[in-house]
Amino acid sequence: MIELEGVPELIDPVMVAAFEGWNDAGDAASTAVAHLDREWKGEVFAALDAEDYYDFQVNRPTVWLDGGVRKITWPTTRLSVVRVGGDKPRDLVLVRGIEPSMRWRSFCNELLGFAHELGVELVVILGALLGDTPHTRPVPVSGVTSDPDLAQRMDLEETKYEGPTGIVGILQEACTHAGVPAVSLWAAVPHYVSQPPNPKATLALLNRLEDLIDVRIPLGELPEDARAWQVGVDQLAAEDSEVAEYVQTLEEARDTAELPEASGEAIAREFERYLRRRDGGPTGASGGHATADGGDTGPGAWNPKDNPGGRARPPKPPRAGGDDEESSED
């Protein structure tokens, strides 16, 4: 039995989790949880035993000096808790770590044990994948669940994904089988600029999380960082005609596919978010990454920073309206 000493009784707790690795293109998801932890000054109350879940030849420990004393930080997954104040305070249990190397079922069961002891009412797992999306357009964020009732109640997609999965998919299914409501939020990161950081994708995940759990998230410098990131990629793309042409093709495909939505619910959602923020509203590891087709893309993925001369031509984009990315996953 998990015993939690020093953790107060929580108010309407929601668990928000993200894991570095295959499910975290551009480090967008893990950075989002780190942002919540930093802005709300989270207090770590538990850490999973690194010996149980990690291969230290894959995720190596690091040595550092603390006042002249050498210390070791082991790769693991840590849990912290933050309280969101306001008219309707609630608590967030933040889970941040690295996708485990082994014993995934035991890993998920241990996290679910914490969720049960803390009275968690909803688990939200953040992920990011590489996709054929232009950096100049809003970041697509898909919300999916395995629970048909939850999908209808929270306006989410019921997952239909089949194929390779990561710890995000495994944890969501573990939650479903345990009777714990669970949602995955997936941000699509442009595959041609895949290296971290990607503050624009992080910002998009936080905006969607804000809507989902009805809290106001302090964004700090993220909006400005996102604008600066886009300007930087714009400049890189402008230096190469082939890159610029490819981005334009992606823009046309995206605009054609989303034309009906642009005039309806998307505009309404953005306007509601603007009003909430103006009026105060509720307060509140190396390796490849998941791709749109469930495949894997590693450090060798094409991107303009690696090859500003454009000698390697990027792949052709899919037809507009093609299959959605692994955001249809769990």
The angle formed by the CA atoms of residues 172, 175 and 178, to the nearest 5 degrees, is 155
d(CA 144, CA 167): 15
Q: What is the structure's pLDDT at 241?
A: 83
Q: What is the pLDDT of residue 60?
A: 94
Q: How far apart are CA 216 and CA 95, in angstroms?
A: 19
The pLDDT score that the predictor gives to residue 251 is 86
Residue with tokens 């941000």: 187
Q: Give the pLDDT of residue 1.
A: 45
pLDDT along the chain (330 residues), means of 10: 70 96 95 97 93 94 94 94 86 97 97 95 96 90 92 89 93 95 96 92 97 93 96 89 86 75 55 58 57 57 37 39 43
d(CA 51, CA 61): 11
Is the pTM higher than 0.85? no
Token readout for 2 is 């998990």
* Cβ burial, residue 8 (10 Å; 0-12/13-18/19+): exposed
Q: In sequence order, which residues have a C-beta less than 8 Å from that of residue 291 and are 6 or more positions away?
A: 129, 130, 131, 191, 297, 325, 326
pLDDT value at residue 277? 57
Q: What pLDDT is stored for residue 237 in this prediction?
A: 87
